Structure 1
């Protein structure tokens, strides 16, 4: 991680003749610099364009298409991605992923039409709500109602074209549909959580897994933590989760004294580094950053942190002090990150995503779990956090949204899974309470009847 711009890259698409696609390069540059898209988003967008290009060459022979043939190209491309294509050796990726490929490729086509005067492969169309069939109208109103859950400007919707029943969508816009079935249990097996943490080989690994399971942090969020983000007041642990670029940060400069800026400025001035989420996807120190709900602290762009169980926070504080004394405090000041490598020539360098993944799966293997088992993956720990909130702590979903730091409650619904046993227990308690109240209720009725007779 040397230099403030180290690892910043734009994904490139090479054409059949070996030439670089300048159109896709221009689009990627616009998304990165003007729109501030993440490296992962850039990669997905250019990959989708590349897939469409391959499909066009192999299945359509690269011939010039008339405007009326282009929608058919997009429909065929969707089917090839969704269900597989033997000619290209593609296996099925499912309708949801295929629809994203169509959307990204369509956005590229729209960009080219606007900036290079090309024909739009998948043009947008304006429709009136009254022209839709009943099923589509029901779906429209359902989406409009769902919008109220996440759109803070939802009250302005009636003044927009959408609120007035004018719908703009791609001419080829595949429906993915929803299968009305019980949610998959994607959370890590609850009875194996403590065993997994115990199966780790060093104190750093225990700290990392405790943040995953009992702090609900994502893998990438752990890798962005600074040493100064973790404090242990009164034997407890407080975690500061700041945006890796924009969160306000204070530090001492050897020559200029106390400085105040954002984290990106701090990294550049103090270490000559750039934030890990801005590094290229192939850079070994890359760590993504997902949007979240930030606390209402002016300009600070920080999120609140909640331990699932207070006792875990106190235990974390004890391990933290040992980790600091034995490892973190003694390394050269070459980066600010909390988690470091503990072995070999890389001792003291920042922990990579690949390191964290290996930590997890090696511990899982020691307790007899496989990566193919449902929920046995690092993100399954965050699902466990949501499952525990819903099934055991019975935290309302609105509060769970805050604890999971989701910008939209729709995201929380994916994690908020209630165990069947918890449902049965609640029904049993409700039934028992009803049974206990019935005699008193009947007695009260009898008293009312006697009063009316008298």
Structure 2
């Protein structure tokens, strides 16, 4: 079956309101209805666009495999078992040919396992709602799998904030597993996030983004750069900024307070209340501009929203560090907003397009990434995520800057708008260069230690707690040189 993935606008009733979701078309250009129904369910449940796209890709592979091997299997389960194997091995034999015509290369263990999981959820839903036989049923787990299930259950219980008031008995599901689970991916240590090279920032700000021929373009892109580099925002969050979201800081007149509101549930500006009594940004956009929030769109108009953690009233507060970034932003903002006078904007977004064919329209992520690459090109650099030359690397720079300044982990969590201390590990972990420098310093210190041990006395409690207790306090919440919640014994 030759299938094609497209973006569909689904209208449910006479209101004319539509829902955009990815769908598959068969060879007759008909939508594959069961998959559409399941995708709409996930959309209603709040699944992200990337999750829906991964599901569609997995379903497309399964359908192609089914058609190419229609007569080979007696049961859906045996077909799914073989399909899962081919995800890992590919379909090209040792002679370099593939009679099935699929010509799949082997998928990585993590991608293959993700496809198996998504398709298992899909076929479970189809079995429940359409009466088909499940392709990946639940079976009695072997001893090894039961041990892993128990370890997972125990870890979840240990990290459950309300676990002490829940049933402490082992859940019976520990004894069961899926018939097909996929290979366990290779365990990897979290890779330290690569930050934007600080020694390039000044040139990039002035001679990169600041050298655009149109002054309005320079100001717009420099303002976004300040938000992501000096305020730690994701670039997508910066594009959700409205003009009303920037106000003078009452404590520091030369600085400004910037708040990025949730595109749907954040409060509308100026205490607005709609005709129906609603006060959210989604209601404001619909009633004032007949628009939907930008995270509801698909394609180039879409601007996603990742953070599940906001401050009061549904916004992310920008915490400038150092504060000079906020002062520079304040100065540029006054100049930038003067350019907006006289430009028709049928929307409230602060950052707009200045191209003559699209002037006044909301600035898109694709357009910003293009301007970003052009800015790097002007100072002789090429975009490279591994070298920190990407827009998101500025958020990494912000996190590392906070850590190097000795800011407590709880404060860093607040600044990065993370819901968990674990989330910021990738942003604040030491770099390979820092590890090497510390080891070299330790080597020099070691060489100066005398061989005499006569005067060594038993260590005090304060000294013992400097090194933590990994068995009972693995995250150094109360012990260690940089305890997160307890007293620090760092001398």
Q: For residues 47-62 of structure 1, what are the structure 2 equivalents within 5 Å?
A: 47-58=57-68, 60-61=69-70
Deviation at 1:74, TM superposition (A): 4.1
Distance 1:331 1:126, change over 3 A: farther
TM-score by length of 2: 0.74
For these two proteins, the number of residue pairs brought into alignment is 424
* CA–CA distance in structure 1, aligned partners of residues 449 and 162 of structure 2: 45
* Root mean square deviation, CA, Å: 3.7
Distance 1:89 1:27, change over 3 A: same
Residue of 237, 248, 257 corresponding to 1:232 = 248
Alignment pair present for 1:196 and 2:214: no
Contact 2:192–2:429 under 8 Å retained in 1 = no
Q: For residues 47-446 of structure 1, what are the structure 2 equivalents within 5 Å?
A: 47-58=57-68, 60-61=69-70, 65-80=74-89, 87-125=101-139, 127=141, 132-133=143-144, 137=147, 140-141=150-151, 144-145=154-155, 148=158, 151-155=160-164, 158-159=167-168, 162=171, 166=174, 169-180=177-188, 183=191, 186-198=194-206, 199-200=208-209, 201=212, 202-233=218-249, 234-251=253-270, 261-279=279-297, 281-282=298-299, 284-295=300-311, 297=312, 300-325=313-338, 327-372=339-384, 374=386, 375-390=388-403, 392-423=404-435
Contact 1:81–1:94 under 8 Å retained in 2 = no
* CA–CA distance in structure 2, aligned partners of residues 74 and 186 of structure 1: 37
* CA–CA distance in structure 1, aligned partners of residues 336 and 256 of structure 2: 14
**Gaps (5+ residues) in structure 1?**
446-454
Deviation at 1:154, TM superposition (A): 4.2
Contact 1:71–1:121 under 8 Å retained in 2 = yes
Distance 1:91 1:132, change over 3 A: same
Deviation at 1:377, TM superposition (A): 2.2
Choose between structure 1 and 2 for higher RCO, CA contacts under 8 A separated by at least 6 residues: 1
Residue of 18, 22, 28 corresponding to 2:39 = 28
Distance 1:68 1:267, change over 3 A: closer
Deviation at 1:265, TM superposition (A): 0.4
Q: Match of 2:20, SS?
A: coil
Q: Match of 1:235, SS?
A: strand
* CA–CA distance in structure 1, aligned partners of residues 16 and 180 of structure 2: 39
Greater percentage in helix: 1
Contact 2:146–2:176 under 8 Å retained in 1 = no
* CA–CA distance in structure 2, aligned partners of residues 291 and 185 of structure 1: 18
Contact 1:74–1:172 under 8 Å retained in 2 = no
Distance 1:247 1:185, change over 3 A: closer
**Gaps (5+ residues) in structure 2?**
1-14, 213-217, 458-491
TM-score by length of 1: 0.80
Deviation at 1:397, TM superposition (A): 4.1
Deviation at 1:219, TM superposition (A): 2.1
Contact 2:263–2:293 under 8 Å retained in 1 = yes
